Structure 1
Amino acid sequence: MGMISLRNAGHRAGDLLFSNLNLVIAAGDHVGLVAPNGRGKSTLLRAMAGHVELSEGELTRSRGVTIGYVPQDIPADALAQTPAQFIASALDPVLLESESWRVDVVMEEFSIPLDLRERPLRAFSGGWQRMALLARAWVAQPDVLLMDEPTNHLDLGRIGALEQWLAYAARNMPVVIASHDRAFLDATTNRTLFLRPSEQVYLPLPYSAARAELDQIDAAAEAQRDRDLKQAQQLRKQAAKLTNIGINSGSDLLVVKSRQLRDRAEKIEAEVQDVHRDRTGLVRLGNSGAEARVMLAFENVPVTTPDDRLLFSIDKLHVFQGDRIVLLGRNGAGKSQFMRLLTEGLDGLVPAGLRISPQLVPGYLDQSLGWLPLDPSPLDYLLHRFDEGDRRTIALLAGAGFPPDRQSRPIRTLSLGQRARVALLALRLARPNFYLLDEPTNHLDIPGQEQLEADIREQGATTILVTHDRAFLRTIGTRYLLIDGRRLREVDDPEGFIASMTQGAD
């Protein structure tokens, strides 16, 4: 089995991403790699795969080890290839000539349908592109598996299948997974690396247990920091008192003693560690409030496809102020069409049978961020859409993690995570009392997900949500609506549906 070792490893890309990383990843280690967006997770995975060099320290791999690497996206120059061509490109040409059967076997293993195998990858959905990436990483039977956001674009059924596949196919090999999907990390990892600019934290626990331990570590570090700074302050006060006495009495000994106390204070202050905080560059949402008890009322409302085929009917449904409703259903059941119907209704195309409170002020966040313009800069976009003034808008963007030099760059040059922060900031400035969220966590890192959860829960805004993020829906939901048998019915909790999807039950 392969092994990866890092010694005093670090990387700078303008800013320091991480440093002082000392780690050995061996057989059976399934490591969850956790950090906010832009903090070096993908860089570290690419370095482990041999695609980039770290700027600090050493990274070594066992002699002859083969690496299976799953990036976030298919390279642009490979989108014209069929899945078979793309997967075969991972094999040595000599091996491919004698063992081309490997490609067919791995396509079967990842359930790539026959009717897709002759199509170019650009025609695939995001989920099937993810399956092609996984198959390409696996076709050479690697010794180590590295995965960058493997659940992106996957529904609950495919996420469950991937969890089961990792449990048997990669059980005894080293695996490193960078992911913002907390439930997936809990299901697939036994170790967690919290990647930080300075001191790294590596714990032999899956994410949730490791996060609880990390919170205790950070709390202890903050308490120790406060004690150290208080001691330094007391030393400085003693030094000042001795200086005054020494000057008034003419005692050189007291002046020397005073200098020694100041030196001790400076040494303590220099050694004090800043308490690490992941919650930077976050956007706080609010709730403009409403007096209405019922925000939405449905009665005999059909939900159809764009060509008017019935998907399901809503016999009777009241959405009360403060409800946080999670919509559940298999792919194709009609979740997206329900969200489309509701979006159009809130925009003025109200279908028969739907009543909307005149006090409702909607706010949207969808997975594609398709409504977000790409040509203007974040500063120009927000200035033209909202009447907040230059100074406040600049300050809001800075608080959302955009230094002045990034505020004036076109939105198209930003990462998807940065675009999501611009979208959240626009959502905040719209001052809604009703949130319509379609896969809102797709581009949010874990701190961003937790902030969004906290804001929605604490502010009490009415919410309707579609998501494949199990941790998010469990935290947010107060009501669960299941599309089942062409009807919409309320269920007590989401667990039965989640189990049916992730365990492959019908």
Structure 2
Amino acid sequence: MINLQNLGVTLREPLFSNLNLVLGAGDRIGLVAANGAGKSTLLRCIAGAHDPTEGAVTRARSVRVGHVEQEPPPGLLQASLYDAVRDELPEADSWRAALVLDELGAPADLRERPLAQLSGGWRRLAMLARTWVGDPDVLLLDEPTNHLDLSKILTLEAWLKALPKEIAVVVASHDRSFLDATTNRTLFLRPEQSQLYALPYSPARAELEQTDAALARRFERDIKTAQQLRRQAAKLHNIGVNSGSDLLTQKTKQLKQRADRLELAARPAHEERTSGAIRLEHRTSHAKVLMSFDDAQVQTPDGVPLFRTGKLFIRQGDRIVLLGANGAGKTCLLRLAKSAIDGETPNAAVKATPSLVLGYGDQGLAELAGDETPVGAITRPFDVGDQRARALLAGAGVGILAQEKPIRLLSGGQKARLSMLVLRLARPNFYLLDEPTNHLDIEGQEALAAELMREEASCLVVSHDRSFVRAVGTRFWIIEGRRLVEADRPDDVFASAATGGAGPA
């Protein structure tokens, strides 16, 4: 259907180059790369919305490409969910809009609401439905699981698996479990040597690591050989100067040229460009019980009751993952806990030890002032000078050019890494993290999980990312109807969500 030939895009520096890919009927390709490494740009090139710097995209005659971007166009936000989908259809086929919305599980009461009033998850599904009714032969999905809760992610997985076999799909995603469930090929996008494997993400990642290890060994070998050639050249040079031998001088020149060629060819092409490091610094607390909930009432900001917590405790070293559908009250529980720690709204049913130092991460990254610069976000609350702040920002993946921009203009990945840097400098002893992996690439997700475990951090985390939940959690709370209960294993909750249940009893 589509053929990419020596494709490359350069924006200040190469995003990718010399990319060759044939996309045929039935392909399900997972597209994996670091934040800002070109996934969205590549999808736009395939869709014909972006011109590559080099190479060509050839499409079969009459092939229809459906491109689902991360956000709806601003001009569509006032349209209702139903109209946003129906407007892509001729009047005679308008019935298909309701059919696709049924397939994706859109409730009737949401269909007449403007997209501007819907959650990020429903906006994503609206754009998918709007694209799908156009009968594409190739479907391009850009971060389709962002802002979706677990039940909707599983619905989307099932929907993709049920697509006609001849449809080709390319999914750019950081959700490892989703990629494993929905793809049969994986493209690791890199600046110079992208790697394609006829495998889902996890086995492809294992193959990639073996390939990278072999490249690393070859790189070390070639560099050692080049160093030996230079040493030989230096010895011959000295002998040639002393003896006046033109032959030895010529031999010296040849050895240096061989060393130059080896070093040039031995560039570590296996090394993937990183989005920046994630580090945490977790101070300890002497308290054994950090927080207690004595059947606290959790409610919306305007006072609508959602559920009761029952009698639960958070102890030193607990890494608790809070699970539940969007709208069940997960964020409201985190805000209730934050209010108790900050002492803003005293609540006899929620108690926090006085020694708690809170690290709070909002899923919308609202704790970062949009008009402030990254440098200001670091130097204003923390005792670090301008030079140190800039070095910390660069190490976290916020480059020199971005450091003086208003935070609202940063990418989602840059904002997420800036938020993690702020948490590190605060040195908390307890974390409340609301969807911390939403804007992080796979490297960032793994680094955050590793840091939480390495620091033996105590935390209450909201996440729908199954790989992250399995890696981080030591305890699992789930909002079930109007109560908060504890599950023994996350897979019990995942299995229940897959079958439409609320969770374990």
TM category, shorter: over 0.9
Q: Look up the match of 2:107.
A: 113
Q: Look up the match of 1:198.
A: 192
Q: Look up the match of 2:15.
A: 17
Structure 1 residue corresponding to 2:229, chosen from 231, 235, 238: 235
AA paired with 2:81? P
Q: Are 2:337 and 2:350, in contact at CA under 8 Å, matched by a contact in 1?
A: no
Q: Look up the match of 2:298.
A: 303
User: CA separation of 1:23/1:254 partners in 2, compared to 1, >3 Å: closer, same or farther?
Assistant: same
Deviations 1:44-74 (Å, cap 9, x if unpaired)? 1111112121111010111100112111111
Q: Which stretch of structure 1 is more off in the superposition, 188-197 or 206-215?
A: 206-215
Deviations 1:306-334 (Å, cap 9, x if unpaired)? 45555433343332222111112334443
User: CA separation of 1:101/1:303 partners in 2, compared to 1, >3 Å: closer, same or farther?
Assistant: closer
- Displacement after TM superposition at 1:246 (Å): 2.0
- Displacement after TM superposition at 1:350 (Å): 3.9
AA paired with 1:471? S
AA paired with 1:135? A
User: CA separation of 1:43/1:361 partners in 2, compared to 1, >3 Å: closer, same or farther?
Assistant: same
Structure 1 residue corresponding to 2:44, chosen from 46, 51, 65: 46
Deviations 1:452-476 (Å, cap 9, x if unpaired)? 1111111111111111111111100
Q: Which stretch of structure 1 is more off in the superposition, 170-179 or 35-44?
A: 170-179
Q: Are 2:104 and 2:155, in contact at CA under 8 Å, matched by a contact in 1?
A: no
Structure 1 residue corresponding to 2:441, chosen from 445, 457, 463: 445
Q: Residues of 2 paired with 1:385 and 1:408: CA distance?
A: 17
Q: Are 1:17 and 1:39, in contact at CA under 8 Å, matched by a contact in 2?
A: yes
Alignment of 1:41-440 (within 5 A): 41-91=39-89, 96-274=90-268, 275-306=270-301, 310-348=305-343, 349-440=345-436
Deviations 1:368-414 (Å, cap 9, x if unpaired)? 11121011211122211211111110110111222222211111111
Q: Look up the match of 2:490.
A: 494
Q: Are 1:364 and 1:437, in contact at CA under 8 Å, matched by a contact in 2?
A: yes
Q: Are 2:36 and 2:275, in contact at CA under 8 Å, matched by a contact in 1?
A: no
Alignment of 1:22-33 (within 5 A): 22-33=20-31
Deviations 1:332-372 (Å, cap 9, x if unpaired)? 44322211210111111342143322332110112111121
- Displacement after TM superposition at 1:278 (Å): 4.1
Q: Are 2:487 and 2:493, in contact at CA under 8 Å, matched by a contact in 1?
A: no
Q: Residues of 2 paired with 1:116 and 1:328: CA distance?
A: 23
AA paired with 1:222? A
Q: Look up the match of 1:474.
A: 470
| SS across alignment from 2:309 | strand
Q: Residues of 1 paired with 2:291 and 2:273: CA distance?
A: 37
Q: Which stretch of structure 1 is more off in the superposition, 100-109 or 30-39?
A: 100-109
| SS across alignment from 2:14 | strand
User: CA separation of 1:316/1:106 partners in 2, compared to 1, >3 Å: closer, same or farther?
Assistant: closer
Q: Are 2:340 and 2:351, in contact at CA under 8 Å, matched by a contact in 1?
A: no
Q: Are 1:32 and 1:191, in contact at CA under 8 Å, matched by a contact in 2?
A: yes
Q: Which stretch of structure 1 is more off in the superposition, 343-352 or 471-480?
A: 343-352
Q: Residues of 2 paired with 1:386 and 1:185: CA distance?
A: 39
Q: Are 1:161 and 1:503, in contact at CA under 8 Å, matched by a contact in 2?
A: no
Q: Are 1:158 and 1:502, in contact at CA under 8 Å, matched by a contact in 2?
A: no
| SS across alignment from 1:196 | coil
Q: Are 2:324 and 2:478, in contact at CA under 8 Å, matched by a contact in 1?
A: yes
Q: Are 2:398 and 2:418, in contact at CA under 8 Å, matched by a contact in 1?
A: no
User: CA separation of 1:329/1:110 partners in 2, compared to 1, >3 Å: closer, same or farther?
Assistant: closer
Q: Residues of 2 paired with 1:504 and 1:78: CA distance?
A: 31
Q: Residues of 2 paired with 1:165 and 1:109: CA distance?
A: 7
Q: Are 1:159 and 1:502, in contact at CA under 8 Å, matched by a contact in 2?
A: no
Q: Residues of 1 paired with 2:275 and 2:329: CA distance?
A: 37
Q: Are 2:23 and 2:168, in contact at CA under 8 Å, matched by a contact in 1?
A: yes
- Displacement after TM superposition at 1:252 (Å): 2.5
Q: Which stretch of structure 1 is more off in the superposition, 221-230 or 487-496?
A: 487-496
Q: Kindly tell me the number of residue pairs found equivalent between the two proteins.
A: 500
- Unmatched tracts of structure 1, length 5 or more: none
Q: Which stretch of structure 1 is more off in the superposition, 273-282 or 217-226?
A: 273-282
Q: Which stretch of structure 1 is more off in the superposition, 169-178 or 23-32?
A: 169-178
Across the aligned residues of Structure 1 and Structure 2, the Cα RMSD in angstroms comes to: 1.8
User: CA separation of 1:241/1:157 partners in 2, compared to 1, >3 Å: closer, same or farther?
Assistant: same
Report sequence identity in percent. 53
Give the TM-score, by structure 2 length.
0.95
AA paired with 2:288? R
| SS across alignment from 2:440 | coil
Deviations 1:100-150 (Å, cap 9, x if unpaired)? 333233233323333333332212222221221111111021111111111
Q: Residues of 2 paired with 1:170 and 1:47: CA distance?
A: 24
Q: Residues of 2 paired with 1:491 and 1:110: CA distance?
A: 28
Q: Residues of 2 paired with 1:120 and 1:486: CA distance?
A: 28
Q: Residues of 2 paired with 1:45 and 1:484: CA distance?
A: 39
Q: Residues of 2 paired with 1:190 and 1:467: CA distance?
A: 26
Deviations 1:251-270 (Å, cap 9, x if unpaired)? 32222222211111111011
Q: Are 1:144 and 1:173, in contact at CA under 8 Å, matched by a contact in 2?
A: yes
Structure 2 residue corresponding to 1:36, chosen from 25, 34, 37: 34
Deviations 1:428-450 (Å, cap 9, x if unpaired)? 11111211111111111111111
| SS across alignment from 1:220 | helix
- Displacement after TM superposition at 1:217 (Å): 1.1
Q: Residues of 1 paired with 2:76 and 2:292: CA distance?
A: 48
| SS across alignment from 1:385 | coil
Q: Are 2:360 and 2:433, in contact at CA under 8 Å, matched by a contact in 1?
A: yes
Q: Are 1:8 and 1:19, in contact at CA under 8 Å, matched by a contact in 2?
A: yes
Q: Which stretch of structure 1 is more off in the superposition, 484-493 or 374-383?
A: 484-493
Q: Residues of 2 paired with 1:369 and 1:342: CA distance?
A: 18
AA paired with 1:71? E
AA paired with 2:59? R
| SS across alignment from 1:169 | coil
